[in-house]
Amino acid sequence: MWLRRDKHEIVRRLLSAYIDGELSSQEKALVEEHLRECAQCRWELETLRHTVAILREAPRVALPRSFVIRRADVEEAPAPSRVPAFLRVVTALGVAIFVLIVGLHFLMQALLPGMPAPVAKAPLPERRQEAVEKAPTVVVELEQRFTPAVTEEVVVTKEVSREVFAPTVIGKGIPRAPTDKVGVEPQALSPLPTTTVVGPVALAPSPMPKPAALPTSTPAPAIHPTPLPGPKFTTVLRIEPTPTPIPLYSQLTGRVASGWIWVIAALVLAGIGIGLWVYYRSKRKG
């Protein structure tokens, strides 16, 4: 009984394909065998056939117009899609740059803890320029001050590598050189990593000349005058780099990004992109 019911359901589902002659010979045999014994399936088949016949007689509707494509349709059509593609690129680029810079900013701050925010304290470009310009005069002053008096030998040893030094110059305010220290920043900018300067210098065993002439903002390594005992005043000036952590991040923002300028540029770019986009869409709708 159960099997019979099952077979009935299977055959019912096959009747539609049976009408179209789309059954395998096995399925066809199954259907025909069942049809002989099932009145309901015979009725189903009959009504389905009739339904299909009616549908096939469904009146054809007349074309309201020709659908031949005019050249103008094709030539006009691509134009609107090209502009959004361009706008999409501009917007995406602007947003990408913006996200990159902001992301990098926070990432670097997170990775290098203790770094003062470079943007806030970074010297203005003019100040940096000033420092570089004034720098040579320091050397001159150094020589002039030292020359007139008794000639002694002063050994100035600079054990400064430029790589370590440079960031200090650009970076954030390192404490001013104390009075007994002399800024030798220009030398830091010289291409030679290590130099030994031996020159005639007038010296009392007293501390070095006052730093008033020095650019105040210039971060400076220290020159420690080491008075030597005896009649000869030989002073060895040792220039040491001020021990500071290497501020990679300030180097990055200072040199590469110059802080917020890029962020603002990215924002402007994204703004223009979005603005054009919105304008274009409203125009298209209107």
Partner 1 sequence: MERARKGDLDAFNELVIRYQKTAYNVAYRILGDAEAAADAVQDAFLKAFKNIRRFRGGSFKSWMFRIVTNTCYDVLRARKRRPSSSLDGMEVELNHTPLGDSGVESPEEYAIRQELNRLIQEAINSLPPEQRVIIVLSDIEGFDYREISETLGIPLGTVKSRLSRARAKVRDLLLAQEELLPVRYRLKVGADSNLESASKA
| Binding stretches for partner 1 (CB under 8 A) | 13-17, 20, 22, 39-40, 43-44, 46-48, 50-52, 54-69, 71, 73-74, 77-78
Residue 253: DSSP 8-state: I
**Token code pair at residue 220:** 């400076």
**Token code pair at residue 199:** 């020159």
Are the CB atoms for 161 and 194 separated by under 8 Å? yes
What is the C-alpha separation between 279 and 286, in angstroms, rounded? Answer: 10
Residue 19: DSSP 8-state: H
Q: Which residues lie across from 235 on neighbouring strands? A: 154
CA distances from 124 to 89, 217, 271 (A): 34, 11, 27
Least distance to partner 1 from the beta carbon of 51, Å? 4
Least distance to partner 1 from the beta carbon of 19, Å? 8
What is the C-alpha separation between 23 and 2, in angstroms, rounded? Answer: 24
Least distance to partner 1 from the beta carbon of 68, Å? 5
Are the CB atoms for 180 and 221 separated by under 8 Å? no
Least distance to partner 1 from the beta carbon of 21, Å? 10
Least distance to partner 1 from the beta carbon of 72, Å? 11
What is the C-alpha separation between 43 and 19, in angstroms, rounded? Answer: 13
